[in-house]
Amino acid sequence: MEPEIFVDVILPLPLPRLFTYFVPDDMQDNLQKGMRVVVPFGKKKQYSGIVFSVHQNKPAEYETKPLLSIIERTPIINEKQLDFWQWMAEYYQCTLGEVYKAALPSGLKLESETRVYYNPDYIQSNELSEKVEKVLLFLSDKKFCSVGEINDFLKQKSSFSLLQTLLEEGAVFVNERLKEGYKARTENYLRLGEAFQKEEALHEAFNALEKAPRQLQLLMTLLQKTGGAGQAMNGAGISRKAMLEGNNSATSPLNELLKKGILEQYAHEVGRLDLANGPIKEKSIFSPAQAKAFKEIESAFETQNVVLFHGVTSSGKTELYIHLIEKNIEKGKQVLYLLPEIALTTQITTRLKKHFGNKLGIYHSKFSSEERVEVYRDLLENHHYQIVLGVRSSIFLPFTNLGLVIVDEEHEHSFKQFDPAPRYHARDAAIMLAHKHGAKVLLGTATPSVESYYNAKRGKYGLVELFTRFEDIQLPRILVADTREARRKKQMKSHFTPLLLEHVESALSNNKQVILFQNRRGFSPFLECTVCAWVPRCKFCDVSMTYHKKMNQLVCHYCGHTVTTPQTCHACGSPSLSTQGFGTEKIEEEIKNIFPEVRAGRMDLDTTRSKKSYQKIISDFESGNIDVLIGTQMVTKGLDFDNVSVVGILNADNMLNIPDFRAFERGFQMMAQVSGRAGRKNKQGTVVLQTSAPDHPIIGYVVENDYATMYKTQIAERQMYKYPPYYRLMNLILKHKHKPVVDKAAEALANQLRAILGDRVLGPQEPPVGRVQNQYLTRIMLKFEKGHSPSHVKQLVNDAVNNILSRQEWRYVTLQVDVDPL
């Protein structure tokens, strides 16, 4: 008897296990790890999952269901990826299903959706509401649709009760279906009809068309453009567009040819990716300092797998990357170039395209799901791309032969994924990924994270430093403007000190450009009643709502809840509501008031929602259509503009006053980075740093550009107070809609953990914002010595969690595990 075959499948679920299915005979051929399969789940659901293993171990405790289908006959996840997924689930304490969900572009994950079908035999017996009638009419038109489409049609979030009515009426039935993921793009193509793909028949067609010169002409065009009669008879085709190009009156002869069957039209699959190649630019010639750094990097890589490249802003790091990439590509190796944010990809893409043309693929969420699938598939099958530029999710692409990973701006916090799980740090995960490929990792930054610098200092990473700017341009001069003093002397104009205004003015009159940095979006962080001090707060979260003037709305920056700006105080009815504090929108308005001639642009989350918006703002600033660019942390990183002579930091204080052990490091990094945008070409630039605490040590380090001392003070504190990199942190965040429930559960969990782990357990403590989206939060922090392996900890935590959260009263408490939180 043939042995029975089973597969363990990864499903997109937060359940910590794999699911075993029986493989029917006709699906056993060449079934492999990493293939996509469709499986039944529960009573009605289906999922597409990934084959994790193929085996003959029949589960003893339950009857297995059969696989429904195999989506394609080649694996879409390779062995290295599966390995990497396992590491990620283990280290970041999540399930393989959660990694799967994060790793694949949505077009490659078929997901169950509920479809509603109109019952053609339905005869109305009861009276129905107007709304129900409307939906019925809509459905009878469409025959079937998804629940989402009904919601859209009704412009409401849920149509649960309405569907209930329709089902009871017998007017519809529902079915779970797998939603179509990726759709190929097609174009109309033309080729010889099948009967004419033979020499004789074709010959006859030519004879028959002697009296129809325009049809004959079209037939000739087809033969020419497909590369000859031989090709055409093999079924080669050309696009209809190409056929009719410059020949507008050819539609009717074409229709004749189609009618006669000499030609036939068909849908031809065309890619969405831009594979055009422009002129390729020669590599630049290194300055002596760059050449030295390059040599040091290469020799460091001889003994180290990870090298930290600490080079001041505008020292020419990106140029060095380009040389390194080229060397890898020449060796036939793939390169992954990671950036922390989409905002940065625009400029780097342009730079890399000039050198690597269509070998460069780009991967991030401003691309459609379809485009992302095509990039994914290119790496899997076609291999046009040898270098991929992307944000954190690109670590999940199916690389086969990675030689180098560049993590640019390695200190950036946006490399960390917060929600949902896996809560991974793309820099750290990339190091593991590279390790699996035997590839090298270059961490580049002007302001290293304390963790990476520590690793470099103690020899775990190589370290290469470059302290001069390209062409020896001086680093910008940093002037500190004391806002307290300016206020006392009543010299402030809106939120500007005289010093900042003076420099903005002189830059503008010299036709130079200005960047203004304010780390808050919106117009003002909150509104306040001037009579009773009432502040509008979010209905769902414990935070005040941010005022957005242009939209005339209050927005919660935690959950996105939006309301129209109230005209009067909800507590005392007074119409006098004043704006408190300031965000980028207000700075934009103030700058326009002070300098009416100035063309101001703004770059923050609100102005960059669409795919093209970054491109537009950045190229408007590059080409000089914007004089002053106002932005949040988006303008601090990596951007390279030639003509910026002044950078203004509007409020250094709110960066330094955050209650977090990393606040000083982070404040230093942001200020040093945004300063680095000034005076990159030609001449030294100027930075005006506004603060009410001019004597703050971090301000001093920024002024002196003294990374080393900043590092020394911070690393000493980390050691003293037991923080990373000396200790490893792990947060357990508990959530529930009733505060007493979550508090009690957390207390019990903390006690249980404390019994095993002692004073490594801190809290529970309510985080600064204690309620988000109507869920109360509390946090337990675990601190481990370096030696503790994550898997050992995982077991301990799992046991405690299972023990506590399985109790009846705490069943609905949710838990998030955040390893190495930021």
* Known binding-site positions for Zn(2+): 529, 532, 538, 541, 556, 559, 569, 572
**Residue 760 in tokens:** 């490594």
Choose between 640 and 706: whose C-beta lies nearer to ligand ADP: 640
List contacts with ligand ADP (CB under 6 A): 284-287, 290, 311, 313-319, 470, 640, 680
Contacts of residue 294, defined as CB under 8 A and 6 or more positions apart, other chains included, come to 286, 320, 323, 324
Cβ of residue 774: shortest distance to Zn ion, in angstroms? 9
Could you tell me where the DSSP H helices lie in 304-341? 317-330
248 vs 234: CA distance, rounded Å? 28
Q: Which does 376 bind (CB under 5 to 8 A by kind): Zn ion, ligand ADP, none?
A: none
Cβ of residue 655: shortest distance to Zn ion, in angstroms? 23
Choose between 318 and 518: whose C-beta lies nearer to ligand ADP: 318
Choose between 323 and 744: whose C-beta lies nearer to ligand ADP: 323
Q: Residue by residue, what is the 3-state secondary structure of 248-270?
A: HHHHHHHHHHHHHCCEEEEEEEE
Cβ of residue 318: shortest distance to ligand ADP, in angstroms? 3
**R_g over Cα of the chain:** 31
Cβ of residue 478: shortest distance to ligand ADP, in angstroms? 17
Choose between 286 and 558: whose C-beta lies nearer to ligand ADP: 286
Q: Which does 503 bind (CB under 5 to 8 A by kind): ligand ADP, Zn ion, none?
A: none
Q: Which does 290 bind (CB under 5 to 8 A by kind): ligand ADP, Zn ion, none?
A: ligand ADP
Cβ of residue 576: shortest distance to Zn ion, in angstroms? 8
Choose between 313 and 632: whose C-beta lies nearer to ligand ADP: 313
**Longest CA–CA separation in the chain, Å:** 98
How far lies 68's CA from each of 27, 47, 48, in Å?
9, 10, 10
Q: Position of tokens 């109109």?
A: 118
503 vs 498: CA distance, rounded Å? 9
Choose between 86 and 350: whose C-beta lies nearer to ligand ADP: 350
Cβ of residue 640: shortest distance to ligand ADP, in angstroms? 5
Q: Which does 313 bind (CB under 5 to 8 A by kind): ligand ADP, Zn ion, none?
A: ligand ADP
Q: Which does 572 bind (CB under 5 to 8 A by kind): ligand ADP, Zn ion, none?
A: Zn ion
Which among 680, 777, 669, 771 has a CA at the least distance from the CA of 414?
669
Choose between 225 and 637: whose C-beta lies nearer to ligand ADP: 637
**Residue 706 in tokens:** 């003294």
Cβ of residue 770: shortest distance to Zn ion, in angstroms? 12
Q: Which does 173 bind (CB under 5 to 8 A by kind): Zn ion, ligand ADP, none?
A: none
Share in percent of the chain as helix, strand, coil (round to 5) = 40, 25, 35
Choose between 342 and 656: whose C-beta lies nearer to ligand ADP: 342
748 vs 216: CA distance, rounded Å? 86
The DSSP bridge pattern shows strands 306-311 and 334-338 to be unpaired
Cβ of residue 682: shortest distance to ligand ADP, in angstroms? 11
116 vs 130: CA distance, rounded Å? 19
Could you tell me where the DSSP H helices lie in 117-193? 130-142, 147-154, 160-169
What per-residue string of b and e applies to 317-347 under the rule 16 or more CB within 10 Å gives b?
bbbbbbbbbeebbeeebbbbbbbbbbbbbbb
List contacts with Zn ion (CB under 5 A): 529, 531-532, 534, 538, 540-541, 556, 558-559, 561, 569, 571-572, 574
Q: Which does 561 bind (CB under 5 to 8 A by kind): ligand ADP, Zn ion, none?
A: Zn ion
Q: Which does 620 bind (CB under 5 to 8 A by kind): ligand ADP, Zn ion, none?
A: none
